[in-house]
């Protein structure tokens, strides 16, 4: 009897170990191709996928592996630490995307493809990176609390949004949109946010400046706000914040983004080291395995 009990316990243990050893199959494209690009110079392009005019196919031409990893893991450049050659070697990637797949699911499939073809070894770690903290100005926030929940009641219409007389995008429901327009002969960026949390503004600022931004305002809930500012090159450093009692800008001049945040929203960007989750590429092949 004791021997039988021991055998049953051994069987149960082995089944449990087997169950824990198995992992759900990673989502993958049924048909995909990854090749070294013959061009190796010039501009690359990343087209297609969910949310585009060609949702059933992705086509990346003459792209760096660095940018493909950013796309697959939904990262900004400062969130990825990788060997230098990942920013120079170019590849062509195509894949058929199953119907009904979301953008996040498509990105997961792209992760699987990269791991299969390049045998990547990755890990996450927290690094102290130069960035900014967003705080309220001395005069307090100028953000208007929204009466809406922030959940869109209907899908966004296709095509560019209409604008009001001042040039700001008009939104049918919750969302954040910015677009370029003209004002007094100068080019402006007009931004409209409807029923958006501060995290939406932080995401926008970190994307524009390509630096981590930490929200230290303590402002919760959803807000309605608008901004207008001068276009800036991608990754341009924020201008130093001016004193809270700064002089009014010239009427026809578009303020930089830092000044717009301060003067129009009542918030400030202060230079700080920001703890940031970074994806580190430990090992990756240079030549993809055969398709």
Kindly report, residue by residue over 179-235, the tens digit of the pLDDT: 999 888 888 999 999 999 999 999 999 999 999 999 999 999 999 999 999 998 776
Backbone angles phi, psi at 213, to 5 degrees: -125, 130
In contact, 76 and 207? CB cutoff 8 Å = yes
CB environment 187-207: b (16+ within 10 A), e (fewer): ebbbbbbbbbbbebbbebbbe
Percentage of the chain beyond pLDDT 90 is 70
pLDDT in tens, 95-115: 999 999 999 999 999 999 999
pLDDT digits (tens, 9 = 90+) for 132-191: 999 999 999 999 999 887 766 555 666 778 889 888 999 999 999 999 998 888 889 999
Confidence of residue 8 (pLDDT cuts 50, 70, 90): very low
Contact 86, 281 (CB under 8 A): yes
Nearest residue to 218 (alpha-carbon basis) of 197, 187, 239: 197
Residue 23 has pLDDT above 50, yes or no: no
Q: From CA 218, how far away is CA 204, in angstroms rounded?
A: 18
In percent, the amount of the chain with pLDDT more than 70 equals 81
pLDDT at 161: 82
Number of neighbouring beta carbons within 10 Å of residue 165:
5
In Å, how far are 6, 24, 57, 101, 137 from 112, measured between CA atoms? 41, 13, 16, 15, 45
Q: Report yes or no: 111 and 267 within 8 Å, Cβ to Cβ.
A: no
Q: How many CA atoms within 13 Å lie on the side-chain side of 124?
A: 5
SS3 188: strand
The pLDDT tens digits for 31-69 are 999 999 998 888 899 999 999 999 999 999 999 999 999
Rounded CA separation 202/163 (Å): 24
Tokens 């791991």: give the residue: 115
Q: 265 and 67 in contact (C-beta within 8 Å)?
A: no
Check if the beta carbon of residue 264 is closer than 8 Å to that of residue 226. yes
Local structure of 289: helix, strand or coil: coil
Q: Which two tokens stand for residue 30?
A: 């049924």
List of E strands, 116-264: 121-136, 144-145, 175-183, 186-196, 213-215, 223-229
Nearest Cα to Cα of residue 215 among 158, 272, 286, 153? 272
Query: CA dihedral in degrees (276, 282, 286, 291; nearest 10)?
Result: -90
Mean pLDDT of the chain: 86
pLDDT score, position 244: 56
């Amino acid at each position: 009897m004791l021997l039988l009990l021991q055998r049953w316990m051994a069987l149960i243990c082995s089944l449990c170990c087997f169950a824990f050893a198995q992992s759900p199959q990673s989502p993958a494209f049924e048909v995909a191709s990854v090749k070294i690009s013959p061009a190796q110079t010039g501009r690359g392009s990343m087209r297609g996928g969910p949310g585009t005019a060609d949702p059933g196919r992705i086509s990346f031409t003459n792209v760096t592996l660095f940018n493909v990893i950013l796309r697959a893991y939904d990262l900004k450049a400062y969130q990825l630490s990788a060997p230098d050659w990942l920013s120079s070697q170019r590849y062509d990637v195509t894949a058929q995307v199953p119907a009904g797949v979301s953008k996040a699911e498509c990105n997961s499939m792209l992760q699987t493809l990269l791991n299969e073809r390049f045998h990547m070894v990755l890990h996450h770690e927290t690094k102290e990176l130069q960035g900014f903290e967003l705080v309220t100005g001395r005069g307090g926030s100028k953000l208007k609390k929204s009466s809406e929940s922030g959940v869109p009641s209907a899908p966004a219409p296709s095509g560019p949004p209409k604008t009001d007389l001042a040039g700001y995008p008009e939104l049918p429901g919750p969302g954040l949109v910015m677009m370029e327009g003209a004002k007094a002969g100068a080019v402006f960026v007009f931004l409209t946010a409807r029923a958006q949390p501060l995290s939406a503004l932080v995401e926008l600022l970190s994307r524009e400046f390509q630096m981590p931004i930490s929200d230290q305002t303590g402002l919760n809930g959803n807000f309605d706000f608008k901004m207008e500012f001068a276009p800036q090159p991608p990754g341009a450093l924020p201008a130093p914040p001016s004193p809270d009692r700064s002089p009014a800008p010239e009427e026809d001049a578009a303020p930089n983004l830092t000044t717009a945040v301060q003067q129009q929203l009542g918030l400030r960007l202060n230079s700080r080291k920001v703890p940031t989750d970074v994806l580190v590429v430990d090992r990756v092949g240079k030549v993809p395995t055969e398709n």
